[in-house]
């Protein structure tokens, strides 16, 4: 298949590497006139597709550029907060066609996203990968063995089976939640509880170190669990039936002290989970989710004392 990726970002390039290795053609949509586009990118990958502990790999990824007026099977869009409209406009202006796979965090309602997407075919998904591009142009990344994917019925695209074939060819399984938008809101709420706890002293300048400190301290993790119990109330206040997401929320239902100890053991024994926590270092992107949850809590008049206190220290 032919897969286009908007930009040369971490998420899109990580999956592009996996698809290219599986025998598919991958092309990147980059800003016209952009210079210094590498012919190859060195990829350092902790690959979780074949081993629960992950396998360290190093390989080269060949970069090819998408052309205007071309058609692709799928277009992967993974952009930071607030940049989706500009991303879709770029695809339209360059007359690049294909089913769009949205790999994005968004706190929007579905109708807001569909207003941006317009008449383009799209499916909502969520990556389980992460990393960063270091100053030498090396991609340090983690790839899990699955993604979250919207159901066939809600996606309503003609080539849904082709998407499953693409993912399966790269040994990427699919988990189908009740509703992708609601699942993303829950994911963002959980992240907000964790991030606000990690930055509860008012600093988020070094996310890598904050994540390491949090993962090694069961008491801090217990606080994070308590904060998550607060932040998911913002999702419930939006009308989401949380009983439909029992598996996602189960770890935060047990006593916080026990949960903190269990989470510390998980992080210390699972390199995949711990490394993805430390590789994401875009402070603005991290704060976006936290601020969305904070604003929603205030808008709904919710009492979230632990979360609010930590967030207000960070924002001040």
- What CATH number should be reported for the domain holding residue 80? 3.40.50.720
Question: Which pLDDT tens digit goes with each residue over 222-245?
Answer: 999 999 999 999 999 999 999 999
19 and 134 fall within a common domain: yes
Categorize the per-residue pLDDT at 12 as very low, low, confident or very high, splitting at 50, 70 and 90. Answer: very high
| Average pLDDT for 125-131 | 94
167 and 232 fall within a common domain: no
30 and 162 fall within a common domain: yes
Determine the pLDDT at residue 298: 97
Percent of the chain residues topping a pLDDT of 90: 78
296 and 234 fall within a common domain: yes
Determine the pLDDT at residue 311: 94
Query: What is the pLDDT of the chain when averaged over all its residues?
Result: 93
The answer, as to whether pTM is greater than 0.75, is yes
161 and 244 fall within a common domain: no
Of 102-106, 156-160, 285-289, the one with minimum mean pLDDT is 285-289
190 and 108 fall within a common domain: no
64 and 186 fall within a common domain: no
Domain boundary (159, 176, 193) is at: 176
- Rounded Cα distance, 111 and 114, in Å: 5
166 and 196 fall within a common domain: no
Domain tally, the chain? 2
127 and 149 fall within a common domain: yes
133 and 276 fall within a common domain: no
Domain boundary (176, 203, 226) is at: 176
Question: Which pLDDT tens digit goes with each residue over 63-108?
Answer: 999 999 999 999 999 998 788 999 999 999 999 999 999 999 999 9
19 and 77 fall within a common domain: yes
End-to-end CA distance of the chain: 49
Which residues, in sequence order, are bridge partners of residue 87? Answer: none
7 and 124 fall within a common domain: yes
Q: What are phi and psi of 142, to 5 degrees?
A: -125, 140
Q: Decide if 188 contacts 107 (C-beta within 8 A).
A: yes
Determine the pLDDT at residue 278: 78
- Rounded Cα distance, 13 and 61, in Å: 9
For residue 281, pLDDT beyond 70: no
Domain boundary (136, 157, 176) is at: 176
Q: Which domain holds residue 159?
A: 2-176
Categorize the per-residue pLDDT at 213 as very low, low, confident or very high, splitting at 50, 70 and 90. Answer: confident
């Amino acid at each position: 298949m032919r897969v286009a990726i908007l930009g040369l970002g971490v998420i899109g390039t990580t999956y592009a590497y996996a698809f290219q290795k599986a025998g598919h053609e991958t092309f990147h949509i980059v800003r016209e006139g952009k210079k210094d586009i590498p012919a190859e990118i060195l990829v350092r990958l902790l690959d979780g597709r074949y081993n629960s502990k992950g396998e360290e790999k190093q390989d080269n990824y060949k970069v090819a550029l998408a052309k205007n007026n071309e058609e692709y099977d799928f277009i992967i869009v993974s952009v930071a907060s607030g940049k989706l409209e500009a991303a879709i406009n770029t695809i339209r202006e360059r007359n690049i066609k294909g089913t769009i796979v949205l790999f994005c965090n968004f706190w929007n309602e579905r109708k807001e996203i569909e207003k941006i997407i317009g008449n383009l075919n799209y499916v909502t998904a969520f990556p389980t990968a992460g990393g960063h591009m270091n100053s030498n142009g090396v991609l340090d990344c983690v790839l899990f063995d699955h993604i979250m994917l919207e159901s066939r019925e809600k996606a309503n695209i003609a080539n849904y089976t082709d998407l499953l074939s693409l993912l399966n060819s790269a040994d990427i399984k699919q988990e189908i939640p009740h509703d992708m938008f609601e699942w993303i809101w829950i994911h963002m709420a959980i992240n907000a509880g964790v991030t606000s706890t990690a930055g509860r002293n008012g600093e988020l300048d070094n996310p890598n170190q904050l994540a390491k400190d949090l993962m090694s301290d069961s008491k801090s993790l217990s606080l994070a669990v308590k904060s998550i119990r607060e932040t998911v109330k913002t999702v419930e206040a939006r009308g989401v039936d949380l009983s439909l997401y029992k598996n996602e929320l189960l770890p935060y239902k047990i006593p916080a002290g026990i949960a903190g100890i269990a989470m510390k053991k998980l992080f210390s024994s699972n390199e995949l989970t711990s490394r993805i926590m430390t590789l994401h270092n875009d402070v603005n992107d991290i704060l976006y989710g936290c601020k969305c949850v904070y604003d929603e809590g205030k808008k709904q008049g919710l009492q979230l004392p632990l979360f609010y206190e930590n967030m207000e220290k960070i924002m001040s």
